[in-house]
Amino acid sequence: MKFVDEAEIRVEAGDGGNGIVSFRREKFVAKGGPNGGDGGDGGDVYLMADTNLNTLVDYQFEKYHQAERGQNGMSTNCTGKRGDDMILRVPVGTRAVDIDTAEVIGDLTKNGQKLMIAKGGWHGLGNARFTSSTNRAPRKKTNGTPGEVRNIRLELLLLADVGLLGLPNAGKSTLIRAVSSAKPKVADYPFTTLVPNLGVVRVESHRSFVIADIPGLIEGAAEGAGLGIQFLKHLERCRLLLHVVDVLPADGSDPAENAVTILKELDKYSDKLANKPRWLVFNKLDLVLEDELEEVIERVTKAINWEGPVHSIAAASRTNTERLAADILNYIELLPVEKPREQIEDAVNFKWDDYHQDVLAVADDLDEDDDFDEDDYDVEVIYKR
Ligand SMILES: Nc1nc2c(ncn2[C@@H]2O[C@H](COP(=O)(O)OP(=O)(O)OP(=O)(O)O)[C@@H](O)[C@H]2O)c(=O)[nH]1
Ligand SMILES: [Mg+2]
């Protein structure tokens, strides 16, 4: 299946139903009181994480999603029915971003987690609400408010502990093949990897971590060169980045310059990513003599002012890769667990009573038609026998 990691959709929550004007009319009750009911609230739109899904492809085709409108109020003080919510199922790891404001609405990181992305409109009040000691037959009512309309970008972020970073051809895919059972394509040309791959690295039977291989970065990636930096977002949830450096690039480029290029692009992408724990991993040590390797390591670490951990491996022959995997696991097990940025269903901090009080407080401003004649009023006036 095609790997789709982004989709743009438009969601519309339901409008609130209107309140109505209605009076009780029965035989022998010539002037019964007002009995127009409130409308129902509009339905909300939610995202819900579901482990059974692994792509956003469905949302590439179905882009418009709407929750139900609240029903209008009815006579005899009957409240309209609340509109049904619309629940959109998305893969675990989906992030919702408001396209118009660029606000990250939330991340769905657990199966079953729900996130409201558009709130339904409030209900309008029926005329029965407006009865007061001075006005026994109010002809006021309010309409429901419109439901929220939002343009949302869904982004599927891989949930990996460790992310690989490096130029094309550095050997990232070879490394993930060496340490996990993932089998991404490996080839001696740049941009072999076009979509991210995940691999589970099992160090012992019960100890494992997930590693993500993403397409290579090149100079100017932040401005869109190569495949751009769009895939870096997949590294945002990683706890450790491995910066893979080819010690003897086939194109004759300088490993030190290459390392600087990667860090520049990383800085341009985000501070958060640039400040994540990072290890430097020199790959293809089989291509150089030991002295040369020392020399390359020294030059690269100097060029990028590196004082952090350094590993050297040959991913193709799996030299030192097992040790690297064990070190990674020991390291991430000691890291404090990062609390995922998440938003479980918004707490409802809203009380209908308050809402009613507020609407009633401004009710004096509402137009009340003094020439009111029930006969030519087009909103329900019920006469009962
Ligand atoms: N000699 C040697 N070659 C290696 C080693 N690791 C990878 N290679 C070769 O380097 C080339 C690129 O490897 P990939 O794993 O495809 O590189 P990548 O970083 O995933 O590249 P992109 O997907 O294009 O970003 C392939 O021809 C590999 O066989 C190594 O340890 N030693
Ligand atoms: Mg690759």
Whole-model pTM: value is 0.67
- Ligand 1: which residue has its CA nearest to atom 16? 186
Q: Tell me the angle at which helices 172-179 and 321-334 cross, rounded to the nearest 10 degrees.
A: 80
Ligand 1: atom nearest CA of 314 is 31
**Hey, what CATH topology would domain 6-156+347-376 get?**
Spo0b-associated Gtp-binding Protein; Chain: A, (2.70.210)
Alpha carbon of 186 to ligand 1 centroid (Å): 6
pLDDT tens-digit map of 39-75: 999 999 999 999 888 788 889 889 999 999 999 998 8
Ligand nearest to the CA of 242: 1
Pocket test residue of 173, 176, 180, 262 for ligand 1, highest count of atoms within 8 A of CB: 173
Alpha-carbon distance of 277 to 308, in angstroms, equals: 9
Q: Which atom of ligand 1 is nearest to the CA of 189?
A: 24
The pLDDT of residue 342: 47
Q: Are 264 and 186 in contact (CB under 8 A)?
A: no
The class level of CATH for 162-334 reads alpha beta
Binding-site annotation, residues for GTP: 166-173, 191-195, 213-216, 283-286, 314-316
Distance CA 143, CA 156 (A): 39
**ipTM tops 0.90:** yes
- Beta strands per DSSP E along the chain: 6-12, 45-50, 64-66, 86-91, 94-98, 104-108, 114-118, 149-156, 162-166, 197-204, 207-213, 240-246, 278-283, 310-312
Whole-angstrom distance, CA of residue 23 vs CA of residue 238: 63
The domains of the chain are located at 6-156+347-376, 162-334
Distance 175 CA to ligand 1 centre (A): 8
Pocket lining for ligand 1, CB < 6 angstroms: 166, 168-174, 186-188, 190-193, 215-216, 283-284, 286-287, 314-316
Q: Among 67-71, 186-190, 379-383, where is mean pLDDT lowest?
A: 379-383
| Cβ pair 303, 256 in contact under 8 A | yes
Q: Give yes or no for a contact between 235 and 163, defined as CB atoms under 8 angstroms apart.
A: yes
Query: For 240-277, what is each residue's pLDDT tens digit?
Result: 999 999 999 999 999 999 999 999 999 988 888 899 99
**Fold match flag (6-156+347-376 vs 162-334):** no
CB-proximal residues (5 Å) to ion ligand 2: 173, 192-193
